[in-house]
Amino acid sequence: MEKLSVEEIRPLLSAFGFFRPPARPRLRLMMELPGATSPGQPRAASWELRLREEFLSQYGPALLPVPESLESSRLTLALRLSTRYMDDGIREAAQELFSAPVFLVSVSLSVLVYFAAWLAPEPFFSKAFAAALTVRLSLLVGLVELGHVAMACLQLHQEAEAATTPQELEAAAERFGKSIGGTALRVLVVVASLGLPQILPKVPKGGLETLLSPLRHAPAGGPALESLTTVQIVADGTLVVTGVAAGTSATALCGELATCAMMDGEGGASGSGPKLSTRYGKPHTRQNPPHNEAIEEELARRETAGHTDLRKNKPQVDATRQRVYDDKPLNRVRFRKPDTSSVRPDGVRHNINYVSNPRDMRRELDAFDAMVRADRNAIHELFSLDGTLIRRFVPQGVSFP
């Protein structure tokens, strides 16, 4: 795994070849202040726009800002430069791969979409394709190696965006190149290539074909894990997998991963998997245990503090338990369901929502605004699962500690 030859990657390059974009001038570095815009910045070509659409349909929305043109972005240029500093055992293959514009842009998208999820303290993959891919890569290279690849990619992105001189960009590329071995390069190939099933419908036999076959890994002869719905890597290194069919192969998979927890599609634990608390109502979602537990813990605190009318994921009501509706509904959604809702001892309604995934932030902010419009006499809060306050509304004249 630590070496990768040109012969191995030629079948992949052949597959990329049929989606060859028209020849364009070589990338040139335009160093502006970070975040600055220029009227001369190039726009994405039609082939890149098509590639983006295909990639995002597989992995979901980007978690980091996507430049107007990835082909001419600092990240893409830094990736191309990094091959100079890679080990002898992979340098020639990497230079061949990174000379293909389609592959280079796909790797850049991988950084902004898939690897960006590893910025979270406990990375969470809610898109079924990304969840299945994470399990597969964990089986192939291990969680530690997979995490190292993700962090190296994210460090390159951060340093490339912050670079203000060609020398700084070259230094960032050098650090990345020296941190990438054969195993890491194979991970990049898998993540970048499998995001383009329509553009690359079939990789010719040979070389990397085994890694790029459909995501139907069946550990130790068990059933294929094609029904995974979510994957989370928790702080202790455990891989928490949820899916309709995942529990059927829990024993075999856990044997290969050493530490994992699996849950079936009904939220029930398989083996030593996490159990969902239901003291205050049915699970908020059976596919996201941390979200459910945050709700249960918050309601328990409120009960201790003397709150009444404890509600878990139920339609929004006011302090008198009357249904309330948004007078300016977005996409015809007239009412919301707060994750937690209760009435304080002083009679004020208090609603809270949680954001599990950064990619859902816009949706949760819209829901927050809708709840405020529906009841301006209530306290409304929006938190991330780690307890970070994102937004708060407190009615005029209401005390809040």
Among 355, 349, 386, 387, smallest CA distance to 368 is for 355
d(CA 150, CA 138): 13
Q: What contacts 112, CB < 8 A, 6 or more positions away?
A: 62, 63, 64, 65, 66, 75, 157
Instruction: Give the chain's length.
Output: 401
Q: What percent of the chain is helix, strand and coil (3-state, nearest 5)?
A: 45, 10, 45
Enclosing H/E stretch for 182:
helix 182-194
Which residues lie across from 120 on neighbouring strands? none
Residue 20's pLDDT is 58
Residue 201's pLDDT is 46
d(CA 7, CA 132): 28
Residue 22's pLDDT is 54
d(CA 249, CA 251): 6
Q: pTM for this one?
A: 0.58
Among 392, 364, 370, 369, smallest CA distance to 380 is for 392
Among 357, 333, 351, smallest CA distance to 391 is for 351
Asked if 91 and 180 touch (Cβ cutoff 8 Å), the reply is: no
**CA-based angle 284:289:295, to the nearest 5?**
50
Per-residue pLDDT of the chain (401 residues; tens, 9 = 90+): 667 777 777 767 766 665 655 555 444 444 543 443 344 557 888 888 888 888 888 888 888 888 888 888 999 999 999 999 999 889 998 998 898 888 899 999 999 999 998 888 778 888 878 888 888 888 777 888 888 999 999 999 999 999 989 999 999 999 999 999 888 998 998 898 887 766 554 555 545 555 665 554 344 344 444 556 678 887 666 777 776 444 444 334 444 444 455 444 444 444 444 567 788 888 876 667 888 888 988 998 898 889 999 999 999 999 999 999 998 887 778 889 999 999 999 999 999 999 988 778 888 999 999 999 999 999 999 998 878 899 999 999 999 87
d(CA 281, CA 303): 14
What does the domain layout of the chain look like in residue ranges? 6-31+47-120+138-194, 225-265, 289-393
User: Within 10 A of 368 (CB to CB), how many other CB atoms are there?
Assistant: 23
Diameter of the chain measured on Cα atoms: 73
The distance of Cα 284 from the centroid of its chain, to the nearest Å, equals 21
Token duo for residue 37: 């815009």
Within 111-266, strands assigned E span 124-125, 228-233, 239-243, 260-263
Q: Classify residue 160 as exposed, middle or buried by CB count within 10 Å of its CB (0-12, 13-18, 19+).
A: buried
Within 78-184, strands assigned E span 124-125
Residue 236's pLDDT is 63
Cα separation of the two ends of the chain: 56
Asked if 184 and 149 touch (Cβ cutoff 8 Å), the reply is: yes
> Please, what CATH class does the domain formed by 289-393 belong to?
alpha beta
d(CA 321, CA 117): 39
